[in-house]
Structure 1
Amino acid sequence: MSSSSHLDPALAALRRYTLHESPTGDRRALAALADVLDADAADAGFHTAREPHPDGDHLVWTLPARGVAGDPLLLLTHYDTVWPVGTLAGMPWSVDGDTVRGPGVYDTKAGLVALLAAAARVVREGAPHPEIRVLVVADEEIGSPTATGLVRAEAGRARAVLGLEPPHPGGDLKTGRRGSTRVRIEVTGAEAHAALDPDAGVNAIDELVDQLVRVRALVAGRPVLLNTGTVAGGGRTNVVAGAAHADLGLRFTDPGNEDAVLAGLAALRPVRERALLATRLLSHRPTWQPDEAGAHLLDRIVAVAAGLGQRLAGRPADGAADTNTTGALGRPTVDGLAPPGGGAHARHEWVSAAGLGARADLLAALFTGLHTAGPSHGDGA
């Protein structure tokens, strides 16, 4: 891989973060990158802390207010990626003109680079700004099962929430998201010899198949996306399967259908008399629908961007993130403030080198300019 000596500071930082591969759930890899990020955050002026978890710590950074009272501005981002350690061997870091490639560069290590560059500039220039809180989540790519409570707590006192997920193609921002829930259906049956004594058994796989048919009927006719992502169970063809499970991915466009489908899943009961059935949420991100508070925040961001010569707009997105949680809580929320690029979760993932600087410029201007948008949460906004 090429030396970073010729790279500008933003690209050099992105290279360092990318070379620290950080798949969700790999505690050792996440810890190595977390140490680097915390050090860079401290250099930028943040106070750093961690919320420890066995599969990866969540990073909590605070930039104390300077001359602006009231509730903090909350930024949400993450440092886990979908790429396992070793991906760099076949998907190496590279820079070709404006195109930067590597695992996680777009989703969303470039966002971390822009954020830290913006904060360092604001501190260096001594510009007034509210308290800035940053959550850097370790398990966003699997629905933030251990981070959602922290996100909710921080959102409750935030004047506004900015998400550092990738933007829409072209750079536009995200003003709403589909609800996203992962559910596991678990069946416990009873093993028996499949030929000598089949009636003594309860086939968990057969029970699971019948339950999956019920689930499909539950979502039929609704604007709900259902994907059965994993099915597992049994062991041998001459043994009645004693256990089976399926993991489902569900996407919702509105809270009404979301509530109805999740209630229906919780109400599933076994078809077979001796089968045991359990459904449990693996992760849950509620539907975030565009609202007046988010529209006002978007208008302010668009105006600030225009003052920098940047043209932006916003619209809802299909994908889910931690901003689902804050938006559904009614907190003013806009996402997609990471640098533009493409290929999230794909081998051709890339991010714009010029976009690093442009988004850092925008974030710095937002840190110092959004407090003029109106009253803080404590004042009733």
Structure 2
Amino acid sequence: MSLDTLRRYTLLESPTGDARALAALAEVLEADAARAGFATAREGGHLVWTLPARGVRGGGLLMLSHYDTVWPVGTLETMPWRVDGDVVRGPGVYDTKAGLVALLAAAARIGGQDHPEIRVIVVADEEIGSPTAGDLVRAEAARATAVLGLEPPHPGGDLKTGRRGSTRARLSVTGVEAHAALDPGAGANAIDELVDQLVRIRALVAGRPVLLNTGTIAGGGRTNVVAGHAHADLGLRFVSGDDERVVLDGLGGLTAVRENAVLAFDLLAHRPTWRAGDDDLLPRIARIAAGLGQTLDGRPADGAADTNTTGAMGVATVDGLAPPGGGAHARSEWVSAQGITSRTDLLEALLTGLHRAA
């Protein structure tokens, strides 16, 4: 049944920003969540599911997942759903539709067992940094005792106990247009200004353990016109909150080299650095996994997710609870069929036993 469910979800392609495609999958997910016992609601395009506590008092569990993928509609034509033994392929199977399958299958098994309140947020724009989900995630995390993330695990299945901070930012330059031959001195070239600022930014991060990627550059129009507009989109990754603050403050404080050029710095998406805390959530999960015959460990990850937000808040957080596989965001994407079963078993045990494993 898990593979049948995953096939249904995979065939409903759901790229970030495609409102029609996302809505089609959302309807199916909500129906399946309701059958698993959840009360369902929506906050914008984000899905919020609740399973009231049974026999357990105190704070609840918050589960974080998403239903958008990086794959545009039509990807199935060249990257079809396929099952070859334990290997299941298709756009989004690993990141992270198999995680949703395992969670809903686990919740459906709970039946009359005791469990805390379980809240689930299934984000619609996680793959572009969750720009519209941050407030919702923070509000829900503030009332939870622990957060479990349903992103893919490390290779081999180990969990994620920290993440690099991730910021997507745009540096825009407004210059002054002029004839490039007849009156160039009357202009302020936005492209030239942008290039000089990018060199400054490289110097700002030099010597720090910061990953900087200039992902896109656009601007100008004609070679005989001094460019009036230009911008660059930057991707930054941090392992230290101190470096994060210094670099972002530096970017916000950039000033123009050229007279009459104007700079604007905008955060497109921001996930704070999550450094592993001193809570006992991972050891508790590992003990429960051991009771199922599963061996689990955890370590920080380079990628970012919504668990950055909850971990940075100081809420006990562990991510990577989706089934193992590989090839996230690549055409080799795959997930383990047996891994879906084992993760379903683990999630059921966590939902009903994590509160007793302290």
For the aligned pair, the TM-score class normalised by the smaller chain equals over 0.9
Task: Report the secondary structure of 1:159's partner residue.
Answer: strand
Selected match of 1:276 from 241, 258, 262: 262
Task: Report the secondary structure of 2:144's partner residue.
Answer: coil
Conserved 8 A contact 2:37-2:107: yes
Selected match of 1:205 from 191, 197, 217: 191
Aligned equivalents of 1:33, 1:197: Cα separation in 2: 56
* Aligned positions of 1:70-85 closer than 5 A: 70-85=58-73
Task: Quote the residue 1:379 is aligned against.
Answer: none
Task: Quote the residue 1:333 is aligned against.
Answer: 317
Identity, % of aligned pairs? 77
Aligned equivalents of 2:136, 2:297: Cα separation in 1: 29
Q: How many Å apart are 1:70 and its aligned residue?
A: 1.1
Conserved 8 A contact 2:88-2:335: yes
After superposition, give the CA deviation of every residue in 1:199-252 in whole Å (9 maximum; x if it has no partner).
121110001001101100000000100000010000111111110000000000
> What's the TM-score once normalised by structure 1's chain length?
0.93
Conserved 8 A contact 2:147-2:310: yes
* Aligned positions of 1:106-121 closer than 5 A: 106-121=94-109
* Aligned positions of 1:9-158 closer than 5 A: 9-52=1-44, 57-123=45-111, 126-158=112-144
Which residue identity does 2:11 align to in structure 1?
A: L
Q: How many Å apart are 1:119 and its aligned residue?
A: 0.2
Matched, 1:263 2:255: no
Which residue identity does 1:332 align to in structure 2?
A: A
Task: Quote the residue 2:351 is aligned against.
Answer: 367
Selected match of 2:182 from 166, 188, 196: 196
Q: How many Å apart are 1:93 and its aligned residue?
A: 0.1
Task: Report the secondary structure of 2:26's partner residue.
Answer: helix
> Unpaired segments of 5 or more residues in structure 2?
none
Which residue identity does 2:17 align to in structure 1?
A: G
Q: How many Å apart are 1:106 and its aligned residue?
A: 0.1
Conserved 8 A contact 2:321-2:343: yes
Which residue identity does 1:22 align to in structure 2?
A: S
Aligned equivalents of 2:348, 2:52: Cα separation in 1: 15
Aligned equivalents of 1:356, 1:252: Cα separation in 2: 32
Aligned equivalents of 1:239, 1:29: Cα separation in 2: 42
Task: Report the secondary structure of 1:184's partner residue.
Answer: strand
Q: How many Å apart are 1:373 and its aligned residue?
A: 3.5
Task: Report the secondary structure of 2:196's partner residue.
Answer: helix
Aligned equivalents of 2:16, 2:209: Cα separation in 1: 30
Which residue identity does 1:39 align to in structure 2?
A: A
After superposition, give the CA deviation of every residue in 1:242-263 in whole Å (9 maximum; x if it has no partner).
1000000000011011110000
After superposition, give the CA deviation of every residue in 1:74-115 in whole Å (9 maximum; x if it has no partner).
000000000000000000000000000000000000000000
> What's the TM-score once normalised by structure 2's chain length?
0.99
Aligned equivalents of 1:64, 1:231: Cα separation in 2: 49
Which residue identity does 2:273 align to in structure 1?
A: T
Which residue identity does 1:76 align to in structure 2?
A: L
* Aligned positions of 1:310-349 closer than 5 A: 310-349=294-333
Selected match of 2:169 from 183, 208, 211: 183
Q: How many Å apart are 1:367 and its aligned residue?
A: 0.4
Task: Quote the residue 1:236 is aligned against.
Answer: 222
Matched, 1:352 2:336: yes
Task: Report the secondary structure of 1:193's partner residue.
Answer: coil
After superposition, give the CA deviation of every residue in 1:244-303 in whole Å (9 maximum; x if it has no partner).
00000000011011110000001001111101100010001111011112xx00000000
Q: How many Å apart are 1:71 and its aligned residue?
A: 1.2
Aligned equivalents of 2:255, 2:24: Cα separation in 1: 45
Task: Quote the residue 2:151 is aligned against.
Answer: 165
> Unpaired segments of 5 or more residues in structure 1?
1-8, 375-381
Task: Report the secondary structure of 1:292's partner residue.
Answer: coil
Aligned equivalents of 1:60, 1:71: Cα separation in 2: 17
Matched, 1:226 2:218: no
Aligned equivalents of 1:292, 1:321: Cα separation in 2: 20
After superposition, give the CA deviation of every residue in 1:167-209 in whole Å (9 maximum; x if it has no partner).
0000000000001001100000111111111112111000100
Task: Report the secondary structure of 2:185's partner residue.
Answer: helix
Conserved 8 A contact 2:288-2:357: no
Which residue identity does 1:298 align to in structure 2?
A: L
Aligned equivalents of 1:191, 1:86: Cα separation in 2: 41
